[in-house]
Amino acid sequence: MSAKPSEYISVAHLCALGKTYVAGAMGPGVHQSFPLPVLLERKLAVLFLFSRAEIVEPKAGCQIWPPQRLAYLCATTGNVLQVRSLDRGAAAAQNSSEAPLGSWLTPVDRMQDEFLTLQSQLLQSLDAVLPAFALSAAVGAEQQPAFRLLRDRLVGFLEPPLLPYYKSYAGPFLQWLGVPVEANAAR
């Protein structure tokens, strides 16, 4: 069922593939979510949500609308397994696609050293724990620091407007980490 750790593609590389093949096809003004692992038909995949995003008012952050699409990329090949319109009934948040869900950091904010450092560390940590998650196993001693970083910092890093969608579509991973989605820390 599972690949060896060396057989998984870096999550950072999967992010680039998502931007190229999915977000690129959707056009400008699309926000690609942070990647989260899922088991799709017993295969390890990485989930991305794609939403409209724009700065509507100065100093109000980047407004994020309900996701329009989701995509699954295979963690071993990088192939796009599926792109589909979001099933609004499956997500915990029921919002009109005409109104933004809320705000998040602007692209300029996301270029700050602190943000980029944490983002890079979280992506590396995902790489470290993917094999254990694919097996629904506990992480080994070597992966414990990565596991703890994800458990302690991931939800505070994720886009608050998308948390209900993360919980709906990547809930098993968040549960495996022991992360309460509702406990999003303020930035």
Structure confidence by residue, pLDDT tens digits, 75-99: 999 999 999 998 665 554 455 567 9
Percent of the chain with pLDDT over 90: 79
Task: Tell me if residue 135 falls in helix, strand or coil.
Answer: coil
Q: What is the pLDDT of residue 187?
A: 34
Domain count across the chain? 1
Domain range for residue 23?
A: 5-183
Q: Where is 24: in which H helix or E strand?
A: helix 24-26
Give the contacts of 4 (CB within 8 A, at least 6 positions apart). Answer: 131
Helix extents (H) in the chain: 11-18, 24-26, 113-134, 144-157, 163-177
Distance of CA 146 to the CA centre of its chain: 16
Tokens of 74: 């295979």
- pLDDT confidence of residue 122: 97
Mean pLDDT of 176-186: 68
Token pair in block for residue 59: 């100093």
Express each pLDDT in 44-73 by its tens digit. Answer: 999 999 999 999 988 889 999 999 999 999
Identify the pLDDT of residue 132. Answer: 95
Can you give the pTM of this predicted structure?
0.88
**CA-to-CA distance for 149 and 151, rounded, in angstroms?**
6
6-24 pLDDT, tens digit per residue, is: 689 999 999 999 999 999 9
Query: Which of 46, 55, 48 has the alpha carbon at shortest distance from 26?
Result: 48
In the numeric block, the tokens 């694919």 are attached to: 134
Average pLDDT score over the chain: 89
DSSP 146-186: HHHHHHHHHHHHS-GGGHHHHHHHHHHHHHHHT--GGGPPP
Q: Is the pLDDT of residue 138 over 70?
A: yes
